[in-house]
Chain A
Amino acid sequence: MAQIIVVTSGKGGVGKTTSSAAIATGLAMKGHKTVVIDFDIGLRNLDLIMGCERRVVYDFVNVINGEANLNQALIKDKRTPKLFVLPASQTRDKDALTKEGVGKVLEDLAKDFEYIICDSPAGIETGAMMALYFADVAIVTTNPEVSSVRDSDRILGMLQSKSKRAEDGLEPVKEYLLLTRYSPARVTTGEMLSVQDVEEILAIPLIGVIPESQAVLKASNSGVPVIIDQESDAGMAYSDAVERLLGEELPFRFLKEEKKGFLKRIFGS
Chain B
Amino acid sequence: MQTPSLELKGSSFTLSVLHINNDDMAVIAAELDAKLAIAPQFFIGAPLVVNLSAIQTEDFDILGLKEILTSRHLIVVGITSASAALTKQAKSIGLAAVKSGKEAISQPQLPKTTKIVKQNVRSGQQIYAKNADLIIIGAVGNGAEVIADGSIHIYGTLRGKAMAGAAGDRNTVIMAQKIEAELVSIAGQYWLTENLQQNGAAPSGCIRLEGETLTVESLPL
Of B119, B120, B123, the residue contacting A154 (CB under 8 A) is: B123
By a CB distance below 8 angstroms, the chain A residues around B143 are: 150, 153-154
Q: For B124, give the chain A residue with the smallest CB separation.
A: A154
Q: Is B159 an interface residue (CB 8 A)?
A: yes
Stretch at the interface among A57-65, A86-94, A155-163, A234-242: A155-163
How many A residues are at the interface, by size bracket? 10 to 19
By a CB distance below 8 angstroms, the chain A residues around B125 are: 157, 161
- A158, A200, A201: most-surrounded residue (chain B CB, <10 A): A201
Assess the B123–A160 pair: CB atoms within 8 A: no
Q: Report the interface size for chain B: residues with CB under 8 A from the other chain.
A: 15
Least Cβ–Cβ distance between A70 and chain B, in angstroms: 35
Assess the B119–A201 pair: CB atoms within 8 A: no
Q: Which of chain A's residues 135-160 have a Cβ closer than 8 Å to chain B?
A: 150-151, 153-154, 156-158, 160
Stretch at the interface among B58-66, B104-112, B134-142, B190-198: B134-142
Q: Which of chain B's residues 141-176 have a Cβ closer than 8 Å to chain A?
A: 141-144, 157, 159
Given contacts A161-B125, A201-B159, contact A153 B141 (CB under 8 A): yes
Q: Is B122 an interface residue (CB 8 A)?
A: yes
Q: Is A105 an interface residue (CB 8 A)?
A: no
Assess the B122–A160 pair: CB atoms within 8 A: yes
A150 CA / B119 CA spacing, docked (Å) = 17
A158 CA / B123 CA spacing, docked (Å) = 9
By a CB distance below 8 angstroms, the chain A residues around B123 are: 150-151, 153-154, 157
Of B122, B142, B157, B159, the residue contacting A156 (CB under 8 A) is: B122
A29 CA / B123 CA spacing, docked (Å) = 36
**What mask results when residues 12 to 52 of chain B are scored 1 for a CB within 8 Å of chain A, else 0?**
00000000000000000000000000000000000000000
By a CB distance below 8 angstroms, the chain B residues around A201 are: 139, 141-142, 159
Given contacts A203-B138, A203-B139, contact A154 B122 (CB under 8 A): yes
Can you show 7 pairs from A to B with CB atoms below 8 A apart? A150-B123, A153-B143, A153-B144, A154-B123, A160-B122, A201-B142, A203-B120
Q: Using CB atoms and an 8 Å cutoff, list the residues of chain A in contact with chain B.
A: 150-151, 153-154, 156-158, 160-161, 200-201, 203
